[in-house]
Structure formats: C-alpha cells, structure tokens
Structure 1
Amino acid sequence: MPMPAEDPTQTPPAPSLPSEAASVTVAYQLPGRAASPQQQLFRDCFLDLMESEEAILPSAASPLGRLWQLIRSPDSTLDECAEVIALDPALTARVFRIANSPLYGGTSSTTKEAVLQFGYARLRQFVFSAQIIERFSKMEMPPGWEHFWIRNVFSAQFVERIAGKYFKTTGSEYLAGMLHDTGWLMLASFFPDEFRAVLESPNEVPLEQAEKEVFSFSHADASSLICAKSHLPARVVNAVAAHHHPLSLPDAATLKKPEESETLLAVLLFLCDRLADDISLPIGGRSTGLAPEEVLSGPEWDWLDRYGKKPEFRAIAEEELDRAYQVGAVFLA
C-alpha cells in the first residue's frame, strides 16, 4: 500500500539536532577497564581509530552535504532541496527510484515532483540513510550478516515511527536506529580475527558479553562513540550506549518529558532489536531465542506504561519491515 504523501506546504521540522548536540563533549572514552595487556591494546587501537576516522556528516561542499544542511534548516524550502538533488545524478536517480516505487506510489517525472512526493520528514530519512550506508559500506561485513543494513534501516524507521507516537521527532531517533549497531562493523573490519571469535562463542552467551570478554568493551560502546564523533545529541549517545540494558540509565527512575528521556529512546532500541530478531532479521544467525509472546514483555516493556497506552508495536514492525526492504533495494543494489 503506497505511503500517503505529506503536505508539501509543511515547514521543515525544527533543527533540534544542532542545539541538542551542543551538550555533547567528544572525549572518546570507553567504559570499563582492560583486564590484560591485549585488551588494553584493543582499547588504544580503537580510540586511535576514532580519532582518525571521519564523522558521518557529509562534506558541506558536496550536494549531499548541502542537502543535509537544508533539511535541518527551518528556513529552507522543498524547491531548494530539489535544486541541490538535481546537481548529483546518482542522488537524483535514488530519489526517483524511491519516490516512484510501490512504497510511495508516485509517478514523478521531475526532481521537484519527486521531492514533493517525499515531504520533509521522509526526505530527511532518505538523506540520513544515504550518508550512513555510503560511509560504512566499504567496511567488511561478517559472514551471515547479509541483512545488516536492512535491519538498520528497519530499526531507524521503526524507532522514529514509534517515538513519533510519544512526541514530535527531530531525526535524532532515526539516526539512533541507523547507528546503534555500527560498532559491529568497526570491530569486524579492524579486528576480524577477534570478532570472529566473538561470533563463534556459544549461543547462550550474549554477544555483548562475549565482546567484553575479548575487547573489554562492546559494540554498543563503540556505536555510542561513533555517535559522539558525529556530534549527535547526548540523548542519542547515551541511549545507544545503553540499548542492551536501557533501565540502567540514570533517568530511568524519573518521569521526564518523552522527548528528553534517554531511557525511552534506549528502551525503543532494545525492543526494536527483539522484534528484528523475531521477524527474521537476526545478526549472524543468532537470535534472542524468545517465543513470539515473550518479545514484547519484561521490565523494559512494562517501563513504557508510565507514558500511557502503548502503540501497536508488532503491527508497525511488520509495516516497516516491508518498507525497509524497498528502501534497501535502492541503496544496496
């Protein structure tokens, strides 16, 4: 079923990413301590990589970089976005493929028509996905991880959509979903032998625990540093770091506004991972091993009660899975 088009006269979302990001101090520190000289070497090497690697933000001079800035500006127009997209043939082709796909049901013949079919919120998703996948696409993908980017696109779409049931989203939520597992790619690319040992650990040992036994830090810790490196909001950085144990965050015991709660975002990432495993997007062939009725249960699920009636998580997940495959077909072809 095609997605309904947004009102093309709608103003772009408020640019909360830059103002939120001002609270982030990029210190590139890892939690925990090395238990051996080998673990200390891994920690030092990873921190050196973080210092040398580029952020996910595109070059300001590139069409994608200019588009990135436009979609975060309250003064930009869709016409301006269409003009910038037209400067990049590859970007233009991708926009047409998505806008005219069964997902959106469009019949656009010009860049402007395609952008109007998207609307601001979906154009923002498109730009974020394009940059992140391009940024990490050259890194080594472990065997059995063919669905990694489909899973991440699904996570981004799902988390932003569910978050939107609680508050007006800003794009931070989409980025959290896209980036929360990218630490895996860093570990797999730069420490392939050690990461292979992690993947070969017994199924009853959670991946995060196996990672800490080898490296002294987890992929969640690595992903949070990637978010910090790119000057994303502190709420995103901390939620990504804690997405396997969201109720450990300091604000879990308080009732904050949903748009300010690190725990709420971390809980959504946690539940999203469970659903991804349950709908045939497990990582490395491993899953939670939970029965379908157990996926949406437990203290994290119950914690959401403080914000009122829960959205239809599973129905939304099934819809977003279909969208993720169609979006992935554009970026991963």
Structure 2
Amino acid sequence: MGGQAQSRQQSGVATDPDRLKRYLICEAQDKKWVSDKLITLLSGEAIIPPFSAAAIKLGQLSRDENCQMEDVVEVIQMDAGLASDIIKVASSVGFAARRISSIDQALMMIGMTEVRRIALSMGVMKNFEHLKSQVDWNSFWLHSILVARLTERVAAAYRPPCGSEYLAGLLHDCGKLVLEHYFPEDFDRIIIRATERGSGHVAVEQEFIGVTHAQIGAAVCECLQAHLEVIRAVWYHHDPFNVQEGNQPDNSRFLGACVGVADALTNYKQINIYGARIMDYDKPFEELPEWQFLAQYQMSYGLDLDLDAELEKAREDLKSFGLGSDDGENDDGA
C-alpha cells in the first residue's frame, strides 16, 4: 500500500477521475455509460475509502527487508481499532488459541507474517463491508483468502517475497463487489450467462457491460491507494501477457500470473461465487495458460502444495475474522 495517509472520508479528497480512466477503458460505445458511471461513483463519492495510515505504513514495511518487529508494533499502535482487531483475531482458535493482550505478544506468538495477514484481511473486509448485499459474502471472502494464501505460496516457489503477494490475491476480485452493488441487474445477468457457459465471468462482463471486474478492481485499488504492483496484478490477473509496465518495470507481470494460477487452483476446489470458471479436471494443471505463462520464470525453490490443507487454513482464517459457519463449509461452488 502507498499514498496519502489520511482517509478521504475525513479529508474530503476524492480520487482523480483521470487516474481511474486508465483502468476503465471501454471500447464499445454503447456500453461506455458503464465506465463513465463507475468513474463518477469512484471519484465523486469516495465510496471506497483508502486504507488507514497504519495499514498503508504496514504495507510499506512489508516491502522493507530491513523491517524489525518493533517497527511493526509502532505502526500498528497508530491505529487503536486495527490493534484491537489483530489482538482479538490472534487470540482465536485458528491462531494462538490463547488470550493475547498486546501486539508485542501477538507477534511473539504467531509471528510477523500472520499478524500482517490479519491486518490486511481485516482492513480490506471492513473497507468493503458497506457493499454487502446479495453476493454470497462468506464464499466470496473464502475464495479471496484462499487465493491470497496460494498467491504467496506460488510466488515463493520462484523468488523471495516482494510484500505484495497476499494483498494482490485478497483484492483480485474486489471489482465484483462494486459491480454487484451498483449494477445488480447487470450482475445477475452476468452470473446467469457465466453459469450457463461455465467459462467464468470475464468474457461475459466484457460482452454485457464493456468492462471487467479486473478493470473495476484495479480502479478500486487506486481508490484504496494500494501499491502499483498490487493495482497492476489485480488489473491483469486474467491476462498477465498484457501488463503495461511503461517506463517503470516492476513485479506486476509475475505477480499477476501468480494470482491467476492461485485463482485457477481455487476454482479447482470449487470455492467461488456462482458463475465462476468450471475447470477441466481431465486436463493437467500444467497445461493451463496461467501456469504456462509462469514457465518463463525460473522456479528456484520448488513448490510442494497441499490444496486441501490450504483450504482448511483459509476456512479457519475466515472464522477467526468473524465470518464463516461453525463447520467452515461455506462454499457454494460453481
């Protein structure tokens, strides 16, 4: 995360519409009203507030290889609400399973990586809570948390962490929440047609409204003041071949591909909202375009992945964050 520390809802500063236009390009003139409305909504009403100052700083620290534990404690303590959430979740059965009374203790008991995951997950979920409506909220976040965890695992097989992996996976489908909330009839039509075809949402979104949830998600990440790598990974997670890196080469292409692979793996487990891509179980995973794209990179560390174990941990995370049923069975598949 990066950008302004003060919330736009407090400061009254909206996102520059020109910054959103770069993501919400619509080539179909008869559907351009959708992108225009999205730009107006996202820029004029600040419907997606940016992360708190503490969350932004925590994101910056995650990319600092010299970051120390005391730096993390100092940042989290800037935000009493965030600190309280972290302590509560860290004390839950899914994490330390014992009473924790401070951020220092949380870091000692469950580690910096888990504390950072909790902070990012709670911050993101709270930022979108006001958009909760007809979408299966638990299934959506179970999918997103599992993709976030798998993005970290896949990326770690190739190179040391850049600090943006978990957040990119967590936010990859956030455009669907905006689409469902502000365009409910179009969203329903997209879900129905995508379910009939079994090919996923992207092509149907392009056909029906001229923009995709990935484009909307990138614009939302701009409003959140997320790091540029995260924005681009969300933007191109369905098509990393087209990442436009301009004059500032970064990790976006690789990160977008990792999110795409994680998304496909999650769909193999049928963890998603209705209309998601139906995977061909007879086709080797290595033949998927997402995985073939990653073949251009050197897998330096190897990948030993237990999807069932990762899914169970994602379910535990969801329950610890205050969502999910008692038995953890919230996925409606498709």
For structure 2, the residue ranges without an aligned partner over 5 or more in a row are 4-15, 62-66, 324-334
Match of residue 128, structure 1, among 109, 120, 123: 120
Alpha carbons of structure 1 residues 171 and 216: separation in structure 2 relative to 1, 3 Å: same
Q: In structure 1, the residue corresponding to 2:217 is in which secondary structure?
A: helix
Query: How far apart in 1 are the matches of 2:277 and 2:313?
Result: 22
Q: In structure 2, the residue corresponding to 1:329 is in which secondary structure?
A: helix
What is the 5 A alignment of 1:184-223? 184-201=176-193, 202-204=196-198, 206-223=200-217
Deviates more, 1:190-199 or 1:115-124: 115-124
Alpha carbons of structure 1 residues 243 and 96: separation in structure 2 relative to 1, 3 Å: same
1:19-42 CA-partner distances (Å, limit 9, x unpaired): 9xxxxx961111232331xx2222
Query: How far apart in 1 are the matches of 2:100 and 2:225?
Result: 37
Residues 26 and 35, structure 2, Cα contact 8 Å, conserved in 1: no
**Deviation for aligned residue 1:178:** 1.1
Q: In structure 2, the residue corresponding to 1:306 is in which secondary structure?
A: coil
For structure 1, the residue ranges without an aligned partner over 5 or more in a row are 1-16, 20-24, 61-65
1:212-236 CA-partner distances (Å, limit 9, x unpaired): 1221100010001111222323332
> Quick check: 1:272 aligned with 2:262?
yes
What is the 5 A alignment of 1:254-265? 260-265=250-255
Residues 191 and 201, structure 2, Cα contact 8 Å, conserved in 1: yes
> Quick check: 1:287 aligned with 2:277?
yes
Q: What is the identity, as a one-letter code, of the residue corresponding to 2:128?
A: F
Residues 98 and 104, structure 1, Cα contact 8 Å, conserved in 2: yes
Alpha carbons of structure 1 residues 262 and 78: separation in structure 2 relative to 1, 3 Å: closer
1:131-162 CA-partner distances (Å, limit 9, x unpaired): 11011122134455641001111111221232
Query: How far apart in 2 are the matches of 1:82 and 1:220?
Result: 30
Query: How far apart in 1 are the matches of 2:282 and 2:106?
Result: 39
**Deviation for aligned residue 1:93:** 5.7
Residues 86 and 118, structure 2, Cα contact 8 Å, conserved in 1: no
Aligned to 1:110: 101
Identity percentage of aligned residues: 21
Alpha carbons of structure 1 residues 286 and 307: separation in structure 2 relative to 1, 3 Å: closer
Alpha carbons of structure 1 residues 268 and 176: separation in structure 2 relative to 1, 3 Å: same
* RMSD over equivalenced CA pairs, Å: 3.0
Aligned to 1:305: 295
What is the 5 A alignment of 1:119-268? 119-144=111-136, 146-201=138-193, 202-204=196-198, 206-249=200-243, 260-268=250-258
Q: What is the identity, as a one-letter code, of the residue corresponding to 1:212?
A: Q
What is the 5 A alignment of 1:1-150? 17-18=1-2, 27-29=19-21, 30-36=24-30, 39-51=31-43, 52-60=45-53, 66=54, 68-69=56-57, 72-73=60-61, 74=67, 76-77=70-71, 79-80=73-74, 83=77, 87-88=80-81, 91-92=83-84, 95-101=87-93, 103-111=94-102, 112-144=104-136, 146-150=138-142
Residues 146 and 310, structure 2, Cα contact 8 Å, conserved in 1: yes
**Deviation for aligned residue 1:53:** 2.2
Residues 200 and 276, structure 2, Cα contact 8 Å, conserved in 1: no
- TM-score normalised by length of structure 1: 0.77
- TM-score normalised by length of structure 2: 0.76
Would you say how many aligned residue pairs link Structure 1 and Structure 2? 295
Alpha carbons of structure 1 residues 326 and 230: separation in structure 2 relative to 1, 3 Å: same
Residues 67 and 127, structure 1, Cα contact 8 Å, conserved in 2: yes
Residues 236 and 256, structure 2, Cα contact 8 Å, conserved in 1: yes
Query: How far apart in 1 are the matches of 2:2 and 2:75?
Result: 19
Residues 51 and 123, structure 2, Cα contact 8 Å, conserved in 1: yes
Query: How far apart in 1 are the matches of 2:109 and 2:243?
Result: 39
**Deviation for aligned residue 1:293:** 4.5
Residues 96 and 110, structure 2, Cα contact 8 Å, conserved in 1: no
1:189-239 CA-partner distances (Å, limit 9, x unpaired): 001011111111132454111111221100010001111222323332222
Q: What is the identity, as a one-letter code, of the residue corresponding to 1:222?
A: I
Residues 274 and 288, structure 1, Cα contact 8 Å, conserved in 2: no
Query: How far apart in 2 are the matches of 1:54 and 1:313?
Result: 40
Q: What is the identity, as a one-letter code, of the residue corresponding to 1:207?
A: H
Residues 59 and 163, structure 2, Cα contact 8 Å, conserved in 1: no
Task: Give the ranges of 4+ consecutive aligned residues of structure 1 lying more than 6 Å apart after TM superposition.
Answer: none
Query: How far apart in 2 are the matches of 1:245 and 1:78?
Result: 34
